[in-house]
């Protein structure tokens, strides 16, 4: 009889260090693993539960302003820095890592309504109700900087109060919103261009970071207007049922932008086709005050007057996450951090709050095995997310009582409306009345 | 002064704003308009004080009329009206004009800069300076223009308004001068040289036609309309610009994973690199640095420092040599160690056997060389042997072996049997020396005889086997005792015991011989009459499926023998082994016969009575033979040594034991208990042979064999089992399980029995009714079943509650078909079910980013719509080298100016 000697190379079986793991040999024959689906399902269930257990999104609050935080701006070139402006004219630069004020930029007489930073992060532009636009040199967070922040590098006074400002990507142009839209250059004391479509004041303004010559504004006549700086003219306008408080372009999809509306919803539009919203993001129970996209373009964060911050998927009609604390009041501004892993909210209670964008994410250095484990758990959750038990666990959120009740009320109202509409349809002659889909219902007209 | 500059600035701005609109103006109108503005500035104050202004529409009408009437150099009044179209936004507001006194008197409604504001800011603002400077230049230009106009006026005698505003366009000025001075050059003059050229006539005709019709210009559109047009154009342009992103966006959306990664430059990697960039900052550090870089110290170190080390005295070559030597030693040691480790770990028995043999060989070689050692060894060996013989330690005498034998070997498992056999083997080995003294001579002729009887028939072979057994027994008898004259056996008590045993054996052998004779006679008698029957039988058996055992038997037996011989090759050829070998063919045959009969029994349905009878007859013969022999006969061992254990099992355990004791005498005094383990071996061997047989069968088809039809074959294959009935039973079972039959109503013992009322009345009505109802419902349910109409199908309608939670109620979103979904879910993704190489791809998240890495917005790149999606990585953010501070500052400077995006990118990448 011939004896087969198992031959193994010693290299495979010797550890380099005593703390290395022994190689495990497995037989992957599917016939040996008949219960794999049940096994993975149970793992997914456990992963979902673990996610709940570890969901601790709140990192810390940044206290310092003495009035409500009205606007924020992130430094596109420096991760740790965030600027915030308050209703009393105070502008602060925060270090997110230490959650402390680095410096203040005093000077505004009224509320600061708009803040933005140039792409290289060296210049801060602020504007407010005192009809001034102020440019500030930004000190770097290293301590050897000698920038004097007590005085702005330039003050441009203009005819009307300002409501918002945004900086063009990779250029020296910024745009302000007020009675009209003004396009400014860093070095000019007067706007280099001015647009007006309709007579109502412009509330918010945002440049498209991917396609920097496009500009979107929302105005108090409930309109959303798009501009092109190359032809230096507006080119599209829609009037919605309620006014849009804020607008943000998707940084990875320059086609799309999302408008945070007063009617508790956010609407994502295709800039070429404004007669219908691509997605309606519902969940807030009060006006949405601000919206900001994650730099990955896959989700965005909204802050609402209902004292909550929510995170939506770019194509999800309901929020993925809701953040709230007992002390957080009306949220006026939100920003997604430049590495897509944090969210900052500024609210009426004079605080800035720092949140994790994934509530149960483990911060700090992850070893490869740990990372793989997390990836596996995430993949499992994604795979079984439609199964009832897992869906229930993953979706469940504790809500503040007012929000919970308001949501129920809103649901009741919409259901009643739907019922009524259905009955109306049922009792009218076929074809005589057609109901618009919800995506189109809130858009009153499209102008050109 | 301030007022006038303010006005001037306003004017400039206005002209700038109009630059866009100017595309809609005809060239000929341009100068006219400019001239008018000048005029308007002059009489602005007067106009403000004037009467109520007409509404826009009316004015428009008037303006149109006026324009139609007026020629190109009409008076300033007409021009005034026309201008209003262009200056729509410049109209004086109603409240400003104080119309009807409806408004409060307020100086200014709009926020305006205070007058002194400019003066304050001017020195700090570059832009203002620029504008001032340009204003000065404008002033100078204006003066120049004035002089020029005056000159023109002098020359031509035409009012200066006609020439105003034409300074910038040299050509037009020239043209107009030419026109005005003398109409020398007309279109006809230009046409004249073309005379005779092809197409001249048509050109001339068109010119004439144009001259006939008076030239009129379209009125410019109102501003709202113009804006609309502008927006439409702009929309088209922007739409095109946005649409170019579609491909990129689509590709990113479809990509399974987006990588927002960057090869980050982590800066200095080595301590040396970090140290080289070190600059002393504090006082202490500076002092240290000063000391370190002190030229005196450096010099001193260079001179002495090298000598300070002791090792420096050793030559480099020596060091290298020593190192090499040490390394060699170490590696050798290590190798040796590893080898020892490896060898120690080897579990292979064969390897160890070989190793052992080698060791023995070496030992024996040593023995040969060293007579003293050999002697010692021999003594040792002898002692061992004697001990074995005395104690019989390995002869199933231990408690364990006894217990096992008591329980019967056949109920033991293979390992136990093997252990017993091994023990006996050891016993044999220990006693071998004595055996080898009286080795047998019969091996060769037995082998040849084995070869001879291969051709013989089974029955004949049986006879022959019997004969042989007889012969052998006789031989043993004749041989008598050659008692050992030496060693332990030479001792008187041993001798006595031996003799006694031999006598017993002798007696038994003789008895066996007699029995042989008896059975031989019987067998011969029966064999003659049974021969025809067997032949018939064999032919009948051929028709059944298993009948083909017959023809293959002989070669198998042969093979079997051969194999046996091969196995024995390595061993010393003991007589007992020979015996076994000799004996085996016979039981083989019997076994086969039995098999055959079994096979036939399986196919009973096909066999006719006669054949069955024949079969039984021959079987009976053999049975008789067996029975006649009885358990204690030694020839049973001789013949059935190779038989399967089953047959031995038919005898009682006690008989087994009995044979054990009896056999000793038959074969040889030396191998008493051999038969038990031998039977083990043969048992397993025969089984193997059977396996062999079946495989051989197929190839050993006889040429005259007729293939039965397919139906016949199927019938034969399923002859034994009634499939249809079985299925029906199964189905009934499933039905009962899924729709259980209602329980029969029964009385609870003790209830209602006292009075015997129920006994008389029977079951209460409601019980019966309920039962009926249940039965009816069951019937309905059975009828409703999906498999109710199909007799040959069972469709189970049970729902597995435990598996239910693994099922989706509806198709989840990205999937479009059930099959796709199930296919996706079937494959597990975990590390327990997938190799590590496939794992990362299965578990990869949708977005891979690094914490702390700033993600830049997307940049445009061309996307080929037809490209395949097999590219593994979709990296959004490419590698970006870390910028040095110099580059940063450069970039900052550049970005202060208005840099087009592409240029900005280039700067970034350098």
User: Which chain B residue has the Cα nearest residue A131?
Assistant: B111
Instruction: Give the lowest-confidence range in A420-429, B483-492, B794-803.
Output: B483-492
- Residue where the block lists tokens 């008949």: A34
Residues of B with Cβ-Cβ distance to A11 under 8 angstroms: none
Most confident of A1-5, B240-244, B800-804, B890-894: B240-244
Nearest CB to A120: which of B830, B842, B895? B895
Binned at pLDDT 50, 70 and 90, residue B861 comes out as confident
Judged against a pLDDT cut of 50, whether residue B351 lies above it is answered with yes
Higher-pLDDT residue of A322, B567: A322
Instruction: Give the lowest-confidence range in A158-162, B263-267, B693-697.
Output: B693-697
Judged against a pLDDT cut of 50, whether residue B455 lies above it is answered with no
Residue B634 tokens read as: 């030694």
Question: In this prediction, what percent of chain B has a pLDDT beyond 70?
Answer: 47
**Yes or no, beta carbons of B246 and A255 under 8 Å apart:** yes
Q: Cβ distance A380 to A44 under 8 Å? A: yes
Residues of A with Cβ-Cβ distance to B904 under 8 angstroms: 170-171
User: Which chain A residue has the Cα nearest residue B251?
Assistant: A253
Q: What order of strands is seen across the sheet that includes strand A299-304?
A: A288-293, A299-304, A309-313, A319-323
Binned at pLDDT 50, 70 and 90, residue B887 comes out as very low
Judged against a pLDDT cut of 80, whether residue A291 lies above it is answered with yes
Q: Label the pairing between strands A214-219 and A331-336.
A: unpaired
**Yes or no, beta carbons of A255 and B859 under 8 Å apart:** no
**Yes or no, beta carbons of A210 and B857 under 8 Å apart:** yes
For chains A and B, what is the number of CB pairs under 8 angstroms?
Answer: 216
Radius of gyration, alpha carbons of chain B: 62
Q: In angstroms, how far is CA A306 from the centroid of its own chain?
A: 16
Residue B545: per-residue pLDDT: 39
Residues of A with Cβ-Cβ distance to B843 under 8 angstroms: 372, 375-376, 378-379
**Yes or no, beta carbons of B234 and A39 under 8 Å apart:** no
- B489-543: per-residue pLDDT in tens? 666 677 777 788 888 887 887 787 787 777 777 766 655 554 444 444 444 444 4
Q: Name the pTM for this structure.
A: 0.52
**Yes or no, beta carbons of B847 and A298 under 8 Å apart:** yes
Supply the mean pLDDT for chain A.
93
Binned at pLDDT 50, 70 and 90, residue B107 comes out as low
Stretch B170-198: mean pLDDT, rounded? 67
Binned at pLDDT 50, 70 and 90, residue B111 comes out as low
**Yes or no, beta carbons of B833 and A185 under 8 Å apart:** no
Judged against a pLDDT cut of 50, whether residue B241 lies above it is answered with yes
Stretch A374-396: mean pLDDT, rounded? 94
Binned at pLDDT 50, 70 and 90, residue A397 comes out as very high
- B146-161: per-residue pLDDT in tens? 777 777 777 766 665 5
Residues of A with Cβ-Cβ distance to B334 under 8 angstroms: none
Residue B428: per-residue pLDDT: 82
Instruction: Give the lowest-confidence range in A276-290, B280-294, B522-536, B754-768.
Output: B522-536
For A:59-118, CB contacts with B below 8 A are: 76-77, 79, 118
Binned at pLDDT 50, 70 and 90, residue B758 comes out as low
Supply the mean pLDDT for chain B.
65
Nearest CB to B234: which of A188, A209, A235? A235
User: Which chain B residue has the Cα nearest residue A298?
Assistant: B847
Residue B279: per-residue pLDDT: 84
Residue A356: per-residue pLDDT: 96
For A:137-176, CB contacts with B below 8 A are: 157-160, 169-173
Residues of A with Cβ-Cβ distance to B237 under 8 angstroms: 228, 230-231, 235
Identify from A339, A385, A393 which residue to disrupt to test chain B contact, counting B C-beta atoms within 10 A and taking the largest count.
Answer: A339
Higher-pLDDT residue of B786, B446: B786
Which of A278, A351, A352, A354 lies closest to A312, judged by CA?
A278
Q: Cβ distance B508 to B662 under 8 Å? A: yes
Q: Label the pairing between strands B258-260 and A181-185.
A: unpaired
Residue B346: per-residue pLDDT: 87
Stretch A125-132: mean pLDDT, rounded? 95
Binned at pLDDT 50, 70 and 90, residue B845 comes out as very high
Q: Cβ distance B535 to B628 under 8 Å? A: no
Which of B903, B899, B876 lies closest to B251, judged by CA?
B876
Residue B495: per-residue pLDDT: 74
Which string of b and e fits B732-750 if b means at least 16 CB within 10 Å? eebbeeebeeeeebeeeee
| Alpha-helical runs (H) found in A21-83 | 36-54
**Yes or no, beta carbons of A235 and B235 under 8 Å apart:** yes
Residues of B with Cβ-Cβ distance to A232 under 8 angstroms: 20
Binned at pLDDT 50, 70 and 90, residue A244 comes out as very high
Judged against a pLDDT cut of 80, whether residue A59 lies above it is answered with yes
Residues of B with Cβ-Cβ distance to A386 under 8 angstroms: 808, 812-813
For A:266-325, CB contacts with B below 8 A are: 271-272, 295-298
For A:412-431, CB contacts with B below 8 A are: none
- B368-383: per-residue pLDDT in tens? 788 888 888 888 888 8
Minimum distance, in Å, between the CA of residue A209 and any CA atom of chain B: 6
Residue B704: per-residue pLDDT: 64
- The CA-atom distances, in angstroms, between B5 and each of A43, A211, B118, B138, B139 are 79, 40, 11, 12, 11
Residue B587: per-residue pLDDT: 42
For A:351-390, CB contacts with B below 8 A are: 363, 372, 375-376, 378-380, 383, 385-389
- A165-195: per-residue pLDDT in tens? 999 999 999 999 999 999 999 999 999 999 9
Residue A322: per-residue pLDDT: 96
- B540-570: per-residue pLDDT in tens? 444 443 433 433 444 444 444 444 444 444 4
Most confident of A49-53, B215-219, B819-823, B832-836: A49-53
Counting every residue written for chain A, the total comes to 448
User: Which chain A residue has the Cα nearest residue B856?
Assistant: A295
Higher-pLDDT residue of B754, A439: A439
| Alpha-helical runs (H) found in A341-395 | 368-383, 388-395
Stretch A214-223: mean pLDDT, rounded? 95
- B631-670: per-residue pLDDT in tens? 343 333 334 443 434 443 444 444 444 333 333 344 344 4
Judged against a pLDDT cut of 50, whether residue A157 lies above it is answered with yes
Residues of B with Cβ-Cβ distance to A131 under 8 angstroms: 111
Higher-pLDDT residue of A326, B403: A326
Most confident of B183-187, B363-367, B774-778, B797-801: B774-778
User: Which chain B residue has the Cα nearest residue A273?
Assistant: B239
**Yes or no, beta carbons of B898 and A376 under 8 Å apart:** no
Nearest CB to B230: which of A233, A236, A340? A233
Nearest CB to A188: which of B127, B858, B876? B127
Largest CA distance in chain A: 103
Nearest CB to A210: which of B808, B826, B858? B858
């Amino acid at each position: 009889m011939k004896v087969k000697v198992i031959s193994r190379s010693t290299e495979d079986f010797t550890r380099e260090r005593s703390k290395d793991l022994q190689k495990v040999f497995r037989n992957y024959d599917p016939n040996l693993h008949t219960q794999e689906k049940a096994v993975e399902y149970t793992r997914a269930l456990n992963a979902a539960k673990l996610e709940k257990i570890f969901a601790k999104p709140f990192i810390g609050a940044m206290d310092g302003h003495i009035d409500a935080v009205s606007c924020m701006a992130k430094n596109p070139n420096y991760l740790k820095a965030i600027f915030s402006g308050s209703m009393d004219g105070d502008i602060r630069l925060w270090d997110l890592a230490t959650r402390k004020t680095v410096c203040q930029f005093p000077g505004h007489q009224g509320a600061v309504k708009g803040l933005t930073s140039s792409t290289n992060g060296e210049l801060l532009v602020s504007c407010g109700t005192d009809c001034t636009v102020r440019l500030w040199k930004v000190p770097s967070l290293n301590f050897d900087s000698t920038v004097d922040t007590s005085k702005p590098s330039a003050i441009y006074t203009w005819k009307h109060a300002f409501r918002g400002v945004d900086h063009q990507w990779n250029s020296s142009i910024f745009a302000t919103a007020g009675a009209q839209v003004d396009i400014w250059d860093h070095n000019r004391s007067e706007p280099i261009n001015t647009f007006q479509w309709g007579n109502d004041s412009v509330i918010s303004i945002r440049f498209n970071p991917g396609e920097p010559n496009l500009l979107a504004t929302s105005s108090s006549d409930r309109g959303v207007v798009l501009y092109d700086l190359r032809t230096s003219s507006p080119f599209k306008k829609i009037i919605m049922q309620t006014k849009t408080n804020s607008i943000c372009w998707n940084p990875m999809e320059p086609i799309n932008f999302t408008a945070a509306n007063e009617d508790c919803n956010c609407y994502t539009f295709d800039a070429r086709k404004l007669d219908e919203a691509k997605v309606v993001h519902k969940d807030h129970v009060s006006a949405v005050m601000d919206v900001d996209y994650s730099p990955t373009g896959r989700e965005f964060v909204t802050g609402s007057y209902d004292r909550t911050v929510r995170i939506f998927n770019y194509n999800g009609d309901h929020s993925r996450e809701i953040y709230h604390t007992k002390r957080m009041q009306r949220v006026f501004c939100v920003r997604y951090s430049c590495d897509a892993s944090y969210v900052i909210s500024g609210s009426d209670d004079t605080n800035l709050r720092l949140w994790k964008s994934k509530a149960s994410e483990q911060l700090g250095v992850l070893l490869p095995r740990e990372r793989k484990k997390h990836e596996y758990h995430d993949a499992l959750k994604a795979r079984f997310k439609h199964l009832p038990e897992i869906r229930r666990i993953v979706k469940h959120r504790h809500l503040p009582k007012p929000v919970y009740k308001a949501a129920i009320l809103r649901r009741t109202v919409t259901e009643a409306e739907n019922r009524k509409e259905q009955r109306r349809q049922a009792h009218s002659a076929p074809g005589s009345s057609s109901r618009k889909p919800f995506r189109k219902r809130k858009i009153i007209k499209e102008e050109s | 002064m301030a007022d006038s500059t303010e006005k001037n600035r306003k004017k400039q701005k206005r002209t700038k704003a109009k630059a866009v609109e100017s595309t809609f103006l005809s060239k000929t109108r341009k100068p006219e308009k400019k001239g008018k503005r000048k005029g308007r500035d002059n009489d602005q104050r007067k106009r403000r004080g004037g009467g109520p202004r007409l509404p826009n529409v009316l004015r428009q009408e008037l303006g149109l009329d006026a324009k139609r009437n007026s020629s190109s150099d009409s008076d300033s009044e007409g021009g005034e009206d026309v201008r209003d179209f262009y200056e729509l936004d410049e109209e004086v507001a109603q409240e400003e004009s104080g119309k009807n006194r409806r408004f409060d008197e307020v100086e200014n409604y709009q926020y305006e800069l205070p007058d002194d504001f400019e003066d304050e800011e001017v020195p700090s603002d570059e832009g203002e300076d620029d504008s001032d400077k340009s204003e000065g230049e404008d002033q100078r230009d204006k003066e120049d223009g004035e002089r020029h106009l005056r000159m023109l006026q002098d020359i031509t005698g035409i009012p200066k308004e006609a020439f105003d505003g034409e300074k910038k366009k040299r050509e037009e000025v020239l043209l107009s001068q030419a026109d005005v001075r003398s109409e020398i050059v007309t279109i006809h003059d230009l046409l004249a040289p073309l005379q005779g050229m092809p197409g001249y006539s048509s050109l001339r005709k068109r010119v004439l036609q144009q001259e006939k019709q008076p030239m009129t210009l379209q009125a410019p559109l109102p501003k709202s309309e113009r804006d609309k047009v502008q927006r439409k154009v702009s929309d088209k342009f922007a739409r095109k610009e946005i649409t170019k992103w579609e491909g990129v966006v689509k590709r990113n959306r479809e990509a399974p994973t987006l990588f927002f990664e960057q090869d980050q430059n982590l800066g200095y990697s080595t301590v040396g690199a970090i140290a080289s960039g070190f600059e002393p900052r504090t006082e202490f550090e500076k002092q240290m640095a000063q000391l370190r870089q002190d030229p005196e110290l450096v010099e001193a170190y260079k001179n002495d420092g090298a000598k300070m080390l002791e090792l420096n005295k050793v030559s480099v070559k020596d060091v290298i040599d020593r190192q090499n030597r040490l390394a060699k030693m170490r590696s050798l040691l290590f190798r040796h160690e590893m080898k020892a480790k490896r060898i120690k770990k080897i579990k292979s028995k064969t390897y160890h056997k070989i190793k052992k043999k080698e060791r023995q060989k070496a030992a024996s070689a040593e023995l040969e060389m060293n007579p003293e050692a050999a002697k010692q060894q021999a003594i040792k060996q002898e002692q061992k042997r004697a001990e074995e013989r005395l104690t019989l330690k390995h002869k199933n005498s231990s408690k364990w072996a006894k217990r096992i034998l008591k329980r019967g070997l056949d109920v033991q498992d293979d390992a136990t049997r093997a252990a017993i056999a091994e023990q006996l083997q050891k016993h044999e080995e220990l006693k071998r020396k004595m055996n080898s003294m009286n080795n047998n001579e019969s091996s060769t002729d037995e082998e040849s005889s084995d070869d001879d009887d291969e051709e013989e028939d089974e029955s004949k072979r049986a006879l022959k086997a019997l004969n042989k057994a007889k012969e052998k027994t006789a031989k043993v008898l004749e041989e008598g005792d050659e008692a050992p004259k030496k060693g332990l056996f030479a001792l008187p008590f041993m001798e006595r015991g031996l003799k006694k045993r031999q006598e017993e054996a002798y007696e038994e052998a003789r008895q066996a011989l007699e029995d042989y004779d008896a059975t031989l006679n019987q067998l011969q008698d029966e064999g003659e009459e049974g021969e025809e029957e067997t032949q018939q039988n064999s032919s009948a058996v051929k028709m059944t499926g298993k009948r083909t055992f017959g023809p293959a038997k002989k070669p198998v037996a042969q093979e079997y023998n051969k194999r046996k011989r091969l196995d024995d090759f390595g061993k010393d050829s003991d007589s007992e082994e020979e015996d076994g070998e000799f004996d085996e063919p016979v039981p083989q045959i019997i076994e086969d016969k039995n098999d055959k009969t079994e096979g036939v029994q399986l196919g009973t349905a096909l066999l006719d009575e006669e054949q069955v009878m024949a079969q039984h007859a021959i079987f009976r013969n053999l049975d008789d033979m067996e029975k006649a022999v009885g358990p204690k006969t030694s020839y049973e061992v001789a013949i059935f040594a190779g038989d399967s254990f089953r047959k031995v099992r038919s005898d009682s355990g006690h008989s087994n034991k009995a044979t054990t004791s009896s056999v000793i005498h038959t074969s040889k005094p030396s191998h008493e208990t051999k038969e038990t383990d031998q039977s083990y071996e043969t048992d397993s061997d025969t089984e193997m042979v059977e396996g062999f047989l079946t495989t051989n069968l197929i190839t050993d088809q006889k040429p005259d064999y007729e293939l039965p039809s397919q139906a016949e074959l199927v019938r034969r294959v399923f002859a034994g089992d009634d499939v249809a009935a079985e299925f029906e039973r199964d189905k009934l079972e499933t039905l009962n399980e899924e729709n259980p039959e209602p329980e029969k109503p029964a009385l609870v013992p003790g209830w209602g029995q006292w009075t015997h009322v129920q006994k008389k009345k029977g079951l209460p009505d409601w019980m019966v009714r309920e039962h009926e109802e249940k039965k009816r419902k069951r019937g309905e349910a059975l009828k409703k079943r999906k498999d109710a109409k199909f007799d040959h199908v069972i469709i189970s309608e049970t729902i597995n509650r435990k598996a239910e939670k693994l099922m989706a109620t509806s198709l989840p979103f990205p999937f479009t078909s059930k099959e796709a979904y199930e296919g996706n879910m079937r494959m597990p993704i975990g590390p327990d079910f997938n190799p590590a190489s496939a794992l990362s791809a299965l578990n990869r998240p949708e977005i891979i980013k690094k914490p702390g890495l700033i993600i830049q917005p997307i940049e445009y790149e061309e996307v080929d719509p037809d490209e395949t999606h097999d590219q593994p990585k979709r990296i959004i953010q490419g590698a970006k080298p870390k910028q040095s501070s110099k580059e940063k500052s450069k970039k900052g400077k550049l970005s202060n100016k208005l840099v087009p995006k592409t240029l900005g990118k280039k700067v970034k990448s350098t």
